[in-house]
Structure 1
Amino acid sequence: MKQHIGSIALVVADYDEAIAWYTRVLGFQLLEDTDMGGGKRWVMVSPPGASETRLLLAKAATPAQQERVGDQTGGRVFLLLHTDDFWRDFERMKAAGAQFCETPREEAYGTVVVFQDLYGNRWDLLQLRQG
């Protein structure tokens, strides 16, 4: 049996600003933007070259959801963006205006830095050590 996580829903304040940030700053691809009626859209983005897991940008529709925008995990790192070239992506993201929470560091598992998305969700940019 084979399974994988197909999508992760990320609660956002606004579809268009989220699409702009994820495509411009992270370099993600906009895979789908379908009007579902009633102000709801099905918006799917993914990192370049990704074949399985995608982000579903889901606009907050209730006060409880609006409270969670930018804090889906209580301040912990929420998502880990793996890369095959840490320094290429770090420099490109920095030039595009990404907000980094620390300086890059070497760990036993690889090179990593924490950054925030446009709403404050914390992410790791991570290149795993080979071997």
Structure 2
Amino acid sequence: MITSIAHATIYVLNQEEALDFYKNKLGFEVGDDMKVEGGFRWLTVYPKSNSQLQLVLAEPKEGPMFSKDAADKIRSLVKEGAFGAGVFETENCQQTYDALVAKGVEFMQPPTEQLYGIEAMGVDNSGNWFSLVQR
């Protein structure tokens, strides 16, 4: 029986730049950072308050998981902003938004009242959008 989800993947254009963004702008912790044979890098991050679900910052490259064509297509979609990085919860959306804007994080929508709470829509440095939500 499956009891939880341990990892979710976010495709990024450059793992080192994505690591800098998630660690130094969003304040995430590094879970794993392992380089294995063939140039593959297993890199995970998570919010300081919760390591139960880690985000895999995956750079699509030609190799065992992707053909060159598939890797190129995924990279193109990332650049277009076709993927979401998820919903990041906060206790105070306006305060977190202000702090992230001061660190240079771009937002497509400022904190706005929604049916489910207050939400701001941001984008990481690869082009993945994310939702910042205060329930």
Q: Quick check: 2:81–2:128 contact (8 Å CA) kept in 1?
A: no
Cα distance, 1:2 vs structure 2: 6.8
Q: Which structure 1 segments of 5+ residues have no match?
A: none
1:52 aligned onto 2:52 = yes
**In structure 2, which of residues 107, 111, 117 is the aligned counterpart of residue 100 of structure 1?**
107
So what's the TM-score if we normalise by structure 2?
0.83
Q: How does 1:1-131 map to 2 (within 5 A)?
A: 3-62=3-62, 63=68, 64-69=70-75, 71=77, 75=82, 77-128=84-135
Q: Quick check: 2:8–2:56 contact (8 Å CA) kept in 1?
A: yes
Q: Runs in 1 of length 4+ with deviation above 3 angstroms? A: 69-78
2-side partners of 1:127 and 1:50: how far apart? 16
Q: How many residues align?
A: 128
2-side partners of 1:117 and 1:99: how far apart? 7
Cα distance per residue 1:75-110 (max 9 Å; x no partner): 364411111222231111111111100221011210
Q: Secondary structure of 2:109's match?
A: coil
Amino acid at match of 2:114: E
Q: Which structure 2 segments of 5+ residues have no match?
A: 63-67
Cα distance, 1:23 vs structure 2: 0.7
Q: Secondary structure of 2:17's match?
A: helix
